[in-house]
Amino acid sequence: MVNDLRELLRDSVSDAPHDDLDTTQLLAAGRSRVRRRRAVQLAAATAAVGLVAAGASLVGPGLLGNRAAPIDRPDLVGPVLHLEDAVEAGRGDVEVVARHTEENLNRANGSHYYGVTDDGLVLVGDGPHGIRNELDLWFLDPETGEEQPLPSPPDSDWGQVLELSEDRIVVYSYGMVTADTTGAYVLDRETLEWSEVRWSGLPERDQRGVAIGPDGRVYLGVAMSPDEQREADLQAARDAAGGREVDDSGVTGERYALWSASLTDATDVRDEDLAVGSFAFDEDTMAWSARTNGTNDRVFVKDLDTGEVTDFDPMSGRRCNLLDFGLAGEQVVLSQYCGDLPEKQRDDRVQVVTTDGEPVVTVQSTSIDGAAVDDRWVEVQAQTLGQDSTDGTYLYDLETDRLLRVSDALSNFAIGGGPMPPGYVMWNQPVNDRRGQEEVIARLP
């Protein structure tokens, strides 16, 4: 008889039932999962050399060589681009799949695109209209033009669309927030019925940031007690302004407590015991900054498969306030306001770093912000309401290091928008003397 634990453990698995590994199926599953992460491997490796070839400035610490560059900002690390370096998008760069114009949004609410489902349908909403203030919803198949009506959401105040999957639409409710509760609406795409969840147990404090994690839970940042250093920094900025507009760049950022909530059980609300600034998810990664809406010197990346957390200093500028934060594949996108330039223009930056902390590129200009589209593309929008000739929407291609300009103005309504599958991008532009807007959805290579 086997009477040693070590031997008995081995003996217990010695006659395992036969199980041939189907490597074909395994590789197919792996390729499918990796599709969003593949391009950035190339992108990170080619970014530095590509920029030289493209004639853009290659900037190290303390050296800045572009015509529009501020000369007193030595704290830029890695390659730097400016919107003036962009080229007009040409035929074949983007493929427009849907566009829609509302001529006069001052006169009445119109219809807008609220994102694209994972299976390629555009979610369109019209309204709210009428005495009952209803929002009409439908799917538009951009390939055929066919429309599929959807039931109106329970709340015309609508909200932020968090998920457009093949199974469901999830909307974080603005109406519930107004009513001092927090919750979401879920449309089951099979039964075409809306359900709602109102979370009990979430602290009744300000929230910043909401996202769905790969586990299907909704994650929210909940305000923590005021930070003394931040309060002191803000007071110092106000004192220094002396009645002029306050330049609050360089103040200590805010921190939020991360909570999560179930979409199926209103009582399943959890304190994740994690202080975050901003946060974002990809399929198998969560990334967060230490602070937001102020300076931030740490980005954390958690491998959701292993639970392993790594962190790095993104080397953002000393006076850079982190305003927005995104993650796609192995790239982290940080939108920042870094104070005013001598000409009173804003110094705004969209900084892209890998999840290992390697600098990829920083786009620096006035009044810009950025978002990760997917592994390959970063969207940058510039909005000075016509005061600057660089207004519009730009796409930075991490694979070829090109900065493409796809529009030359942004609508001041900025209504619509929502989740998009990898490879899709949406922008808007003003029409009819800025009374209306055109929305465009395009597919990228």
Partner 1 sequence: MRRADEAAFEEFAVAAQSRLRSTAYLMCGDWHHASDLVQDTLVRLYVAWPRLQRQGAELAYARRTMLNLLLDQRRRRSSGEVPRAEDDTRPSGEDVAEAVSTRAALLATLDRLPPRQRACVVLRYFDDLSVADTAAALGCTEGTVKSQTARGLDALRALVAETSLADLRIG
* Closest approach of partner 1 to the CB of residue 304, in Å: 9
Q: Choose the stretch contacting partner 1; rule: CB under 8 A; options: 11-19, 125-133, 177-185, 369-377.
A: 11-19
* Closest approach of partner 1 to the CB of residue 2, in Å: 7
| 41 near partner 1 (CB under 8 A) | yes
What are the phi and psi torsion angles at 123 (to 5°)? -90, 120
Task: For residue 293, give Cα distances in angstroms to 162, 185, 278, 334.
Answer: 22, 28, 9, 11
Is 362 within 8 Å of 61 (Cβ atoms)?
Answer: no
| 17 near partner 1 (CB under 8 A) | yes
Q: Which is nearer to partner 1, 18 or 132 (CB)?
A: 18
Q: What residues numbered 308-347 form the site for partner 1, per CB under 8 A?
A: 308
In angstroms, the CA 324 to CA 208 distance is 11
* Closest approach of partner 1 to the CB of residue 307, in Å: 5
- Who contacts 154 (Cβ-Cβ below 8 Å, separation ≥6)? 185, 194, 196
Amino acid identity for residue 432 in this structure: N
* Closest approach of partner 1 to the CB of residue 17, in Å: 5
Q: Which is nearer to partner 1, 29 or 53 (CB)?
A: 29
| 63 near partner 1 (CB under 8 A) | no
| 399 near partner 1 (CB under 8 A) | no
For residue 441, which of 370, 399, 393, 371 has the smallest C-alpha distance?
A: 393
| 30 near partner 1 (CB under 8 A) | yes
What are the phi and psi torsion angles at 19 (to 5°)? -150, 95
| 181 near partner 1 (CB under 8 A) | no
Q: Which is nearer to partner 1, 43 or 176 (CB)?
A: 43
In angstroms, the CA 10 to CA 4 distance is 10
Q: Is 93 exposed, middle or buried (0-12, 13-18, 19+ CB in 10 A)?
A: middle
Q: Which is nearer to partner 1, 12 or 101 (CB)?
A: 12
| 45 near partner 1 (CB under 8 A) | no
Chain-centre distance for alpha carbon 246: 27
* Closest approach of partner 1 to the CB of residue 138, in Å: 35
| 273 near partner 1 (CB under 8 A) | no
Q: Choose the stretch contacting partner 1; rule: CB under 8 A; options: 26-34, 92-100, 236-244, 434-442.
A: 26-34
* Closest approach of partner 1 to the CB of residue 393, in Å: 31
Q: Which of 106, 284, 319, 433 binds partner 1 (CB under 8 A)?
A: 284
Task: For residue 399, give Cα distances in angstroms to 45, 250, 335, 375, 441.
Answer: 9, 32, 20, 9, 21
Tokens of 285: 């990664």
* Closest approach of partner 1 to the CB of residue 13, in Å: 4
Q: What residues numbered 296-315 form the site for partner 1, per CB under 8 A?
A: 303, 305-308
Helix ranges (H only) for 154-193 are: 174-178
Q: Choose the stretch contacting partner 1; rule: CB under 8 A; options: 2-10, 127-135, 252-260, 317-325.
A: 2-10
Q: Choose the stretch contacting partner 1; rule: CB under 8 A; options: 16-24, 56-64, 384-392, 401-409.
A: 16-24
| 12 near partner 1 (CB under 8 A) | yes
| 402 near partner 1 (CB under 8 A) | no
* Closest approach of partner 1 to the CB of residue 376, in Å: 16
Q: Tokens 């979430």 label which residue?
A: 202
Residue 425 pairs in a beta bridge with: 442
Q: Tokens 């519930």 label which residue?
A: 176
- Who contacts 87 (Cβ-Cβ below 8 Å, separation ≥6)? 402, 403, 404, 405
Q: What residues numbered 130-149 form the site for partner 1, per CB under 8 A?
A: none
Is 139 within 8 Å of 150 (Cβ atoms)?
Answer: yes
In angstroms, the CA 367 to CA 382 distance is 6
Q: Choose the stretch contacting partner 1; rule: CB under 8 A; options: 20-28, 152-160, 357-365, 395-403.
A: 20-28
* Closest approach of partner 1 to the CB of residue 35, in Å: 10
For residue 367, which of 386, 340, 347, 352 has the smallest C-alpha distance?
A: 347
- Total number of residues binding partner 1 (CB under 8 A)? 33
| 4 near partner 1 (CB under 8 A) | yes
Interface residue list for partner 1 (CB under 8 A): 1-6, 8-13, 16-17, 19, 21, 23, 26-27, 29-31, 33-34, 37-38, 41, 284, 303, 305-308
